[in-house]
Amino acid sequence: MNQYDVTVIGSGPGGYVAAIRCAQLGLKTAIIEKYPTLGGTCLNVGCIPSKALLDSSEHYHNAHTAFADHGIGLENLTVDMNRMIDRKAGVVKANVDGISYLMKKNKIDVITGVGSFIDKNHISIVPREGGEAQQIETKNVIIATGSKPTVLPFIAQDKERIITSTEALNIREVPKHMIVIGGGVIGLEMASVYARLGAKVSVVEFMDSIIPTMDRGLGKELKRVLGKIGIEFFFSHKVTGATRDGDNVTVTATNAKGEEVKFEGDYCLVAVGRVPYTAGLNLEAAGVQMEERGRIKVDEHLQTNVPGIYAIGDVIRGAMLAHKAEEEGVFVAETIVGQKPHINYLLIPGVVYTWPEVAGVGYTEEQLKEQGKAYKVGSFPFKASGRARASGDTDGFVKVLADKTTDEILGVHMIGPRIADLIAEAVTAMEFRASAEDVARMSHSHPTYAEAMKEACLAATENRAIHM
Ligand code: FAD
C-alpha cells in the first residue's frame, strides 16, 4: 500500500495549490480527483470557461457597437457558436493540461477516482465508472471537494433547456430568450455573455437588487449599465416553478404585489448559488463533523475535529471563490509543516466579470454604517478619466472608504474597465494598512484606469481630486 505524508481529495484551485505547496515543503503528496481532468470547477466548468466566453462575446458586442465609433466598419458580422464553444474548450484544455504538468513537475502522485475515507489514515479510491478500488495510507488529509450548483426542489432541471451554469457554458446556439433565475455573480456573467450575443435576457431575482452582498452602489450602477445591453431585471420576484414544453420554457414567479407573473423563453438558467459537495467521502468513517448548510466544520487552522484532517475552499465557510480556496491550500500546507501562516479574510476581493467589471474589498459602506464607524468617502468616476475616454469605457467609478480620523483605507469598491485587475492595488494598500493619502501620493502611470484609484484616494484625503 502506498504511503503519503499528505493526501489531497479534489483537484480544484484549493486542492491542486495545496498539493503543490505540500510538495514544495518536502511532503510526499498524492492528489485524488474523480474526473479525468484536473482543475476542479474553476478550470473545467467555472472561472476559466466563463471568462473565455465573456471575452468572445465581448469582442462580438464591441464589433457590433463600439467599432463604428472608432471608425471601423464591419459588414456581415456573424456568430459561430460552435467555434466559440470549441475555442472555450481549447482554453480549458490548455489550463487543465497545465495542472497535470505541474503535478508531474512537483512529483505529486495523481490518482483518478472517487476518494472516500476507510478511516482517518486510509483512503479508498474507486474509478467513477466502477472497477477495482485501490487503497492508500496517509498521515494527513486535505479535503478540497468543492461545491455544486444549488437545486431548487420545485424545479426539474433537464440540463438541456432548464440548466445550470455548467450547461450554460456549452450552448451551441444563441438563445432567443434566456430567463436567468438569480442576479448573483454567476447569473450576471452568463446573462452578459448571451445578451451580448443578441439573446433577450431576463433576470428574475428574489431580492430588491443585484449582487446584494457587495457595496450597494455597485449593484445600482451595474444594473444601469447592463440595462444598456438589454438585460431586463425583475426584482422582488419569488420564482415558484419552471417547466419545459419542447424547446420552450415557462418560469412562474410571484411579484412584490403577490401577483403571479409568467416568463416565456427557450432557456432557463438556474443560478441561485452553490452548495458544498461532500457526497461519497464517507466522512463518518473518519469521524469528521459537519456544520450548517452542508459545510465541513473547521477551526482557525482549517483543521476538522479530527487531528490531521483539514478542509479548504468551497466545502468550508466563507466566500466561494477560487483565490480564497488557493490561499487556504497554501495555509494548510504550511500549517502541516509547523509554520504559522495567516489569511486576512477581510481582504479577499470579490469580483464580477461583467463589463464593466465590478470588484470590492474590505468593508462596504453598509457595514461601516452598521458598525457605527466614522468614515469618509472619496469617489472618482471613469467619465473623468482620460484613459477611459480614449477606450470608450466611461461607465463606473472607484469609491474609497477611509477612517475619518486615521485616514486608513477601510474598503474599496469599484465598477469600471479592467477593475478585476485594478482591485489588486486596493488589496496591497490595505494589507499594508495604507492611508488614502499614502496611495494618493504614489505615482500612477498616465494614462491608465489605475489613476482612478489615485484620484479616489485624493478625493478621500481632503477632497483633493485633481481631475474632478
Ligand atoms: P472545486 O474547484 O469545486 O474542486 C473540487 C474538486 O473535487 C472537483 O474537481 C471534484 O470533481 C473533486 N471531488 C469532489 N469529491 C471528490 C471525491 N470524493 N473524490 C475525488 N474528487 C472529488 N471563482 C473565482 O474566484 N473567480 C471566478 O471568476 C469564478 N467564476 C466562476 C464561474 C462559474 C460558472 C462557477 C460555477 C464558479 C466560479 N467561481 C469563480 C467559483 C470557483 O470555481 C470556486 O470557488 C472554486 O472552484 C472552488 O475551488 P475548490 O478547490 O474548493 O473546489
Long-range pairs, 236-240, Cβ under 8 A, ≥24: 236/205, 236/206, 236/207, 236/208, 237/204, 237/205, 237/206, 237/261, 238/206, 239/152, 239/155, 239/181, 239/204, 239/206, 240/154
Cα dist from 81 to 53, 57, 65, 85, whole Å:
10, 10, 19, 6
Residues 6+ apart with CB under 8 A from 217: 365, 397, 399, 413
User: Can you tell me the distance from the alpha carbon of 226 to that of 235, in angstroms, rounded to the nearest whole number?
Assistant: 14
Assigned C-alpha cell, 423: 482591485
User: Among the options 70, 301, 446, 467, which is catalytic?
Assistant: 446
Report the nearest-CA residue for atom 12 of ligand 1.
10
pLDDT grade for 129, boundaries at 50, 70 and 90: confident
446 is catalytic: yes
pLDDT at 121: 98
Distance, CA 366 to ligand 1 centroid (Å)? 30
| b/e map 331-341, b = 16+ CB within 10 Å | bbbbbbeeeee
pLDDT(128) > 90:
no
Mean pLDDT of 84-109: 98
Distance, CA 103 to ligand 1 centroid (Å)? 18
pLDDT one-digit tens code per residue, 258-296:
999 999 999 999 999 999 999 999 999 999 999 989 999
Report the nearest-CA residue for atom 37 of ligand 1.
46
pLDDT grade for 387, boundaries at 50, 70 and 90: very high
Residues with CB under 6 A from ligand 1: 9-15, 32-35, 40-42, 46-47, 50, 114-115, 144-147, 165, 186, 277, 280-281, 313-314, 320-323, 325, 353
Assigned C-alpha cell, 188: 450576471
Mean pLDDT of 105-111: 98
Q: CB of 29 within 8 A of CB of 22? A: yes
pLDDT one-digit tens code per residue, 135-147:
999 999 999 999 9
Using the structure block, give the residue that is written with the C-alpha cell 500612477. 444
Assigned C-alpha cell, 187: 447569473
Report the nearest-CA residue for atom 28 of ligand 1.
47
Q: What is the ipTM of this complex?
A: 0.99
Cα dist from 378 to 111, 124, 407, whole Å:
52, 56, 11
Residues 6+ apart with CB under 8 A from 269: 163, 164, 165, 168, 178, 179, 180, 181, 187, 190, 191
Indicate the residue type of 351: V
pTM over 0.95: yes
